[in-house]
Amino acid sequence: MLTRRAAILLFALAATAAHAGEVADFYKGKQVKLIVGYGPGGGYDVYARLVARHLGKYIPGNPLVIVQNMPGAGSLRAVNYLYTAAPRDGTTLAAFSRDMPLLGLIGGNSNVEFDPRKFTWLGSSSSYGNDAYLMFVRKDAAVKSIADARRPGGPPLVLGGTAEGSSGNDVAAVLRDALGLNIKQVLGYPDSNALYLAVDRKEVDGRDAGYSSVKSSHPQWLKLGSNMHVLVQFGRATRHPDFPDVPTARKLAQTDEGRALIELAEIPYRLSRPFAAPPGVPADRAKALQAAFLAVHKDPEYLKEAAKLNVDVSPIDGAEALAAINRIAAAPPALLDKMKALLAGHKKKDKGHK
């Protein structure tokens, strides 16, 4: 005769198997759409397509996963779509800027239509364990050092950017304030590839970009004899081992307030390549998607491809991603207000390139 405990265990196992069967039945023969908030070829697109090539085999029912690019407003268009219009049945996912949760929490932007705490978080392909966000500047630019960028009355450091909400734009705004740098941003480039081209053509002096993204998308900047050098690294408490002579933003901060601002802005790098589904996905499908996402990052073929593409693989799960978002939400209100005012201010000052 079964004990009560054994009966409960058997019932739970049967229920789990039944749910798995229902999830497989739902996904069998279907397509899962993975929306990327940027155009083809940039860092977020590289990560999304890499995940998409392997995700279907770990989702029960093995659906076909297809990628759809939805660029606009630094991926804000895609995030708003995911929150307000995408099907909530587990057939639509999105990859978007790491700064979108911060943008959604600080308020003050009438175009934001989402609460990042309500998404169904799958996790992040990178937690920046092996990466860094770098300020690349042309060696022939008028500003050649942090000291040059701080010099009163000196020429501005002209950096290119896309639209609001993208990491490069917001990092530049934070560094301008926290480090006292004379930075002018030229915003409005459609995607990362356009930014690389703008720097190479001398339309701007440089840009902020992730190390792994540059390695995979524009490696010529890292070659010996390149006309590019790095002035500061962001998103890390310590220096990246490949850039031992480049100071961190925290180290260069001139005040305690500036350092606190930098640390707040660096929290999103914990979910550097975020993936999410809409709110309200049925619990069994959400759990299956979350498990599949983590399984992808242990897949030998995925890891082999990631190594070829020079992308960082240091994944976190959905719970860890949400914990990072909650850390932002729990920041002192005065600090969040400072960030809101800072980002709003730089969008008024900086103009598009057209």
Q: Can you list the alpha helix ranges (DSSP code H) found in 191-280?
A: 192-200, 211-217, 249-252, 256-266
d(CA 327, CA 341): 20
User: What pLDDT sits at residue 15?
Assistant: 46
d(CA 186, CA 349): 10
DSSP β-bridge partners for residue 337: none
The answer to whether 168 touches 161, Cβ cutoff 8 Å, is yes
What residue segments make up the domains of the chain, in order of their start?
10-129+270-329, 133-268+333-352
Output the CA torsion 137→141→144→148 (10° steps): -120
Evaluate whether 10-129+270-329 and 133-268+333-352 have a shared fold.
yes
Judged by DSSP in three states, 344 sits in helix
Question: What topology is assigned to 10-129+270-329 in CATH?
Answer: D-Maltodextrin-Binding Protein; domain 2 (3.40.190)
Could you identify the residue written with the tokens 């009355």? 153
In the chain (354 residues long), the average pLDDT of successive 10-residue segments reads 55 52 97 96 92 98 98 93 98 96 91 97 95 96 97 96 69 94 92 92 96 91 97 95 97 95 95 97 98 98 95 96 97 94 66 46
User: What pLDDT sits at residue 13?
Assistant: 44
Q: What CATH number was assigned to the domain covering residues 133-268+333-352?
A: 3.40.190.10
The answer to whether 213 touches 42, Cβ cutoff 8 Å, is yes
d(CA 165, CA 198): 20
User: What pLDDT sits at residue 285?
Assistant: 98
d(CA 55, CA 67): 12
User: What pLDDT sits at residue 354?
Assistant: 40
Q: Which of 88, 41, 55, 62 is nearest to 283 (CA)?
A: 88
DSSP β-bridge partners for residue 304: none
User: What pLDDT sits at residue 261?
Assistant: 96
Tokens found for residue 172: 């530049």
The answer to whether 145 touches 231, Cβ cutoff 8 Å, is yes
User: What pLDDT sits at residue 76?
Assistant: 94
How far, CA to CA in Å, does 237 sit from each of 9, 248, 303, 335? 46, 7, 26, 19
User: What pLDDT sits at residue 73?
Assistant: 87
How far, CA to CA in Å, does 247 sit from each of 21, 230, 263? 53, 10, 15
